[in-house]
Amino acid sequence: MTPKQALAEVRRRFGPTGALSTRREGIKSVGHIDLGLFFSIEGEGPTWEAAFRDIDERKIRRELFDEARDQPCPVCFRTMRTKYDPKLPKEKRYLRYPMWTASHDRYECGRCAAKAKAAVEEKTA
């Protein structure tokens, strides 16, 4: 996809505020300019195609996140909280927050997701 094609696609998706950006590391960002000032990133990736795919993946993630909140973790079955709870002891405040796992297409509680991510990193290291 050429930058020109990417610009046409981002305008098709977001209208005239659709915009593109390339960071120094070569990461391509697609999104829209809000209030004529702020670049809201909707998707990112190493190529324009990947950045547009990321938009769809983020949407799916948001939907899955909404489904996961206050539901049991699929691994340990503890309820996944979506709110910060200052009444809990410090180490437990975020542990059950739904987290996207590196290896699965789903949310698990923070503790199980961290374990899954560590296992994937060990395999690829």
**What is the C-alpha to C-alpha distance for residues 77 and 1, in angstroms, rounded to an integer?**
44
Residues 7-66 that bind Zn ion (CB under 5 A): none
Both tokens of 33, joined, read: 């300019």
SS3 14: helix
Query: Rule CB under 5 A: is residue 68 a binding residue for Zn ion?
Result: no
- The single residue among 75, 95, 102, 114 that binds Zn ion, judged by CB under 5 A, is 75
Shortest distance in whole angstroms from residue 108 CB to Zn ion = 5
**What is the C-alpha to C-alpha distance for residues 26 and 51, in angstroms, rounded to an integer?**
12
- The single residue among 6, 73, 99, 116 that binds Zn ion, judged by CB under 5 A, is 73
Give the angle 34-37-42 at the CA atoms, nearest 5°: 45
Shortest distance in whole angstroms from residue 80 CB to Zn ion = 8
**What is the C-alpha to C-alpha distance for residues 49 and 120, in angstroms, rounded to an integer?**
25
**What is the C-alpha to C-alpha distance for residues 49 and 60, in angstroms, rounded to an integer?**
17
- The single residue among 76, 88, 118, 119 that binds Zn ion, judged by CB under 5 A, is 76
User: Which window, 40-48, 60-68, 83-91, 107-115, contacts Zn ion (CB under 5 A)?
Assistant: 107-115
In the complex, the residues that contact Zn ion under the rule CB under 5 A are: 73, 75-76, 109, 112
